[in-house]
Amino acid sequence: MSGGDRLVVGVDIGNSTTEACLAVLAADGDVRWLGTALTRTTGVKGTPASTEGALTAVRRALADGGRRAEELDVVLLNEATPVISGLAMETITETVITESTMIGHDPATPGGVGLGVGVTVSVADLGEHPGDEPAVVVVPRGWDFDDVAAALNAAVARGVPVVAAVLAGDDAVLVSNRLTQQMPVVDEVSAVEKVPLGMRAAVEVAGPGRTIRTLSNTYGIATVFDLDPDQTRQVSPVARALTGNRSAVVVRTPAGDVTDRRIPVGVLELRGAGRTVTVDVDAGAEAIMAALARVQPLEDAHGEPGTHVGGMLAAVRDTMADTLGGADPGDIAIRDVLAVDTFVPAEVRGGLAGEIALENAVGLAAMVRTSRSRMQAVADRVAESLTTATEIGGVEGEMAALGALTTPGVQAPVVVVDLGGGSTDAALLTADGTSTAVHVAGAGELVTKLIDAELALEDREVAELVKRWPLAKVESFFHVRHEDGTVQFFDEPLPAHVFARVVVLTAEGPVPIGTRHGLDHVRRVRREAKRRVFVVNTLRALRQVAPGGELRRLDFVVLLGGSALDFEIPDQIADALAGHGVVCGTGNVLGDQGPRNAVATGLVAAFAGGAG
């Protein structure tokens, strides 16, 4: 290297991603940017295990800039305050069926169409059924579809009003095709032997692509069963559980009941500087966030021991203690929580056919900060491996703001919002160089988790794909309909396993989503998850750094971080801020890095400004 030129690399170890930025600093303070790199964080940010990822990032940035490790003068590492996030989710309602009422059954392929109301009769007893009472025929396991159709047709021929059928097997369509008179037929009722006989029942099947209208409406059920106002009140959870189904069966038993119970999840205790507030977690996200607002700034949070919420927070604390090298969990303070209302499909207790109801749930992201930074250990290992000097420095938010200033068109005062994996961080950098930074719990990981839970995917990888890529419906082997309604044709046939499925269109091609929900539903879940985490958190964080807490006093907001690469989150945030007269956009660090690499770039810029 010539004269006083120094080769430096800034390294930002994040929860998910480790980024590096390489530059040459001239003696006069001039900075020449040479290269960047990005790799997955190894282990937990700020712990010795994260050294490996840091080294990889440095080596790749060197390669990108065409330099060798021996030429390095100094590696700059961020002071990774261990701001680590934990996530937990608990259901707070439970639908319980007592006796043998059946609700919400939604088999994949019901037969027939319409609504049938009558009395339940076993197919074996159909021959003796009097001709004046409408019959809902119940078919136990072991009956052949030809025999079932013959029995139903014989009864109809005899003048018995057969209005519907409920089957154990999965041959509703086969039976329907053989009937002389059409009626709704529901199948896949696994516990069909528990369906009480001689009781009034209603069976509804909607046409393909439609949803039921009568049994998903409280007053529809009241009409069908002649209910008084008290009884009507009781059936409203039934109607709710049936909403959106293509078919349903409701049997009215004398003592049968469907209840919508709230599960006591426990009390959350929020301790602020001035006071302590407690809130029942089953009161929902809004109540929790209102309680949090009353104790700001939060110093610690506890869940009642022996309750779900107690377990949730203790688990977060324990994990943090472990990853921080055996710190005492008691020393770890929870500095922020984000509560999100969600709903998760859960099997109904007491159901006859694996009925699913959407239960309310609360998702909690908690953020932990410890006083014990172990970055020195990381720095020492990096220094040893690369035989170079290392320096730890800079508040992450301030560094991010300095990095964001390399975005064309951006000038201080500026507010950056770093949309990461675990936390959403905002920092205000004023024209005179002072900065204020805040971290709030909840970011990209929580969005993925909400999508996974609400769609019952039970597959984090697929949930991540649903988050990142637009949806489409594969309508034929040669064309798909995108979520915006446009149609795209292909020259080569699409793979058979995606035919007629809702897919995410990834860079590697279409990936089917394992859900029975339609495209619109998946899209709504995806967008809502993003809004409830990122719009809520951005507003929360901005209010904390804005002068006087007033958003309208902010000028430029620059979005950074992995989640700023999302195809709709930046728009959702910009929409929410537009009403406050704030200019908001996604950063473009160094003019070509997009929202990536801001902290690493800021570390180099700060070093050049201070020491260069």
Q: Are 199 and 363 in contact (CB under 8 A)?
A: no
Q: x-or-dash pattern for ligand ADP, window 501-540, by CB under 6 A?
A: ----------------------------------------
Report the 10 Å Cβ neighbour count for 84: 25
Angstrom distance (rounded) from CA 3 to CA 280: 65
Q: Mark the segment that binds ligand ADP (CB under 6 A) among 147-155, 176-184, 420-428, 525-533.
A: 420-428
Q: Which of 565, 574, 583, 611 binds ligand ADP (CB under 6 A)?
A: 565
Q: Are 183 and 165 in contact (CB under 8 A)?
A: yes
Q: How far is CA 268 from CA 312, 314, 315, 328, 443, in A?
A: 10, 12, 14, 21, 21
Q: x-or-dash pattern for ligand ADP, window 223-252, by CB under 6 A?
A: ------------------------------
Tell me how many residues contact ligand ADP (CB under 6 A): 18
Report the 10 Å Cβ neighbour count for 328: 10
Q: x-or-dash pattern for ligand ADP, window 434-453, by CB under 6 A?
A: ----------xx--------
Sites for ligand ADP among residues 467-506 (CB under 6 A) = 467-468
Q: x-or-dash pattern for ligand ADP, window 3-42, by CB under 6 A?
A: -----------xxxx-----------------------x-
> Quick one: 245 or 563, whose CB is closer to ligand ADP?
563
> Quick one: 282 or 425, whose CB is closer to ligand ADP?
425
The verdict on 14 binding Mg ion (CB under 5 A) reads yes
> Quick one: 241 or 462, whose CB is closer to ligand ADP?
462
Q: Are 155 and 149 in contact (CB under 8 A)?
A: no
Residue 359 three-state SS: strand
Q: How far is CA 598 from CA 123, 203, 610, in A?
A: 71, 59, 18
Binder of residue 468, out of Mg ion, ligand ADP, none (CB less than 5 to 8 A by kind): ligand ADP
Of 73, 67, 79, 70, residue with least CA distance to 13: 79
Binder of residue 363, out of ligand ADP, Mg ion, none (CB less than 5 to 8 A by kind): none
Binder of residue 271, out of ligand ADP, Mg ion, none (CB less than 5 to 8 A by kind): none
Q: Which of 420, 442, 587, 595 binds Mg ion (CB under 5 A)?
A: 420
Give the DSSP per-residue string, 443-459. Answer: -HHHHHHHHHHHTT---
Q: Are 320 and 52 in contact (CB under 8 A)?
A: no
Residue 528 three-state SS: helix
**Shortest distance (Å) from residue 599 CB to Mg ion:** 6
The verdict on 272 binding ligand ADP (CB under 6 A) reads no
What ranges in 342-482 are assigned the alpha helix state H? 375-386, 396-404, 444-454, 460-468
**Shortest distance (Å) from residue 402 CB to ligand ADP:** 16
Sign of CA dihedral 219, 225, 231, 237: negative
Buried b / exposed e over 407-438, threshold 16 CB at 10 Å, is beebebbbbbbbbbbbbbbbbbbeeeeebbbb
The verdict on 562 binding ligand ADP (CB under 6 A) reads yes
C-alpha 14 chain-centroid distance: 21
**Shortest distance (Å) from residue 392 CB to Mg ion:** 16
Q: Mark the segment that binds Mg ion (CB under 5 A) among 6-14, 64-72, 324-332, 435-443.
A: 6-14
The verdict on 110 binding ligand ADP (CB under 6 A) reads no
The verdict on 420 binding ligand ADP (CB under 6 A) reads yes
Q: Mark the segment that binds ligand ADP (CB under 6 A) among 22-30, 97-105, 461-469, 488-496.
A: 461-469
Q: Mark the segment that binds ligand ADP (CB under 6 A) among 147-155, 415-423, 482-490, 583-591.
A: 415-423
Q: Are 366 and 441 in contact (CB under 8 A)?
A: yes
Buried b / exposed e over 465-498, threshold 16 CB at 10 Å, is bbbbbbbbbbeeeeebbebeeeeeeeeeebeeeb
Tell me how many residues contact Mg ion (CB under 5 A): 2
Q: Count how many Cα atoms sit within 13 Å of the Cα of residue 456 in the half-sphere of its side chain.
A: 13
Q: Count how many Cα atoms sit within 13 Å of the Cα of residue 144 in the half-sphere of its side chain.
A: 3
The verdict on 86 binding ligand ADP (CB under 6 A) reads no
Binder of residue 99, out of ligand ADP, Mg ion, none (CB less than 5 to 8 A by kind): none
Sites for ligand ADP among residues 144-163 (CB under 6 A) = none
Q: Are 97 and 125 in contact (CB under 8 A)?
A: no
> Quick one: 490 or 567, whose CB is closer to ligand ADP?
567
- Residues at the site binding ligand ADP, with contacts judged by CB under 6 A: 14-17, 41, 420-422, 444-445, 464, 467-468, 561-563, 565-566
Query: Which residue ranges make up the site for Mg ion (CB under 5 A)?
Result: 14, 420
